[in-house]
Amino acid sequence: MTLFDRIGMDVGRDLSVEEAIRWAAANDVRYLDVQTDLDPNALATMPDRAPGIRRLCEETGVRLGLHTLSGVNIAEISPYVSEAADAYLRAYIDLAVATGAGWVIVHAGYHFTGDYEMRRQAGLERLKRATGYAEERNVLLLLENTNREPEDAEVQYLACTLEECLWYFDKLRSPHLGMAFTANHAHLYSEGVAGFIDALDVSRMREVRLADCHGTVEEHLRPGEGTMDFADMFARLEAKGFSGHYMNQFGTLDDMLEGRRYLVREAARVGIT
């Protein structure tokens, strides 16, 4: 499979899942991520739609992934809300089975000033429970490295620094828990994309998520608008044996299609086709 074929698109909720699959097939997009919390893909509507979504994927050959919301705090510790966070992850895992989705992207949650260790441990235990359920249902979860927030922000994501990513993956060793590596999030740290790739176990990466940024704040710019060195990124990942797919998430649908062409040109500079 060429690099062009391996670069997919995360359409979020821009289209219904059914429309997104048809759009992907019409534009030679083989990998697709969608978000199914709210309209037009409200989670409550998805069980009835799942058989048709599965058929569409089988007919078109589009490989589907589900992307949970990072705004749902997987590190929740409060009564009732904690149980809801567990149910949220189970619902996505069940939906992956029903639709035939190949993966579910999950997050480690976030903490507030003063409750870091409590939240981190709660999130880890919740991810362990979700991974156990994913094993039972034969679903692949992908933990995403999240973005850095300003230092003085009251709320900070978990599993965003390199140290934290290594901590979570050391403690979550199931083959049903891989990684969705968001390169533009790594670009926000001093190690940069290169440092993250060099330190992480690339064999656990199943998806690499792409957008450009300037390395200062969370941005999802079109490739070429920021300071990301995509050619070096491709060279490092492929040299370490990454064999999964890439996933664009920036701008409009047309921007992502054009961005794919840009990324293929960048990769060709280092001999990757």
Q: With pLDDT > 70 as the criterion, what percentage of the chain qualifies?
A: 100
Per-residue pLDDT tens digits for 221-237:
999 999 999 999 999 99
Q: Dihedral through CA 221, CA 265, CA 57, CA 84, nearest 10?
A: -30
Q: Tell me, what's the pLDDT at 139?
A: 98
Q: Tell me, what's the pLDDT at 158?
A: 98
- The pTM of this model reads 0.97
Q: Which domains does the chain have, with CATH numbers?
A: 3-264 (3.20.20.150)
Q: Tell me, what's the pLDDT at 223?
A: 98
Q: Tell me, what's the pLDDT at 72?
A: 98
Per-residue pLDDT tens digits for 3-16:
999 999 999 999 99
Single-letter residue type at 65? G
Tokens (6 digits) for 43: 């989670």
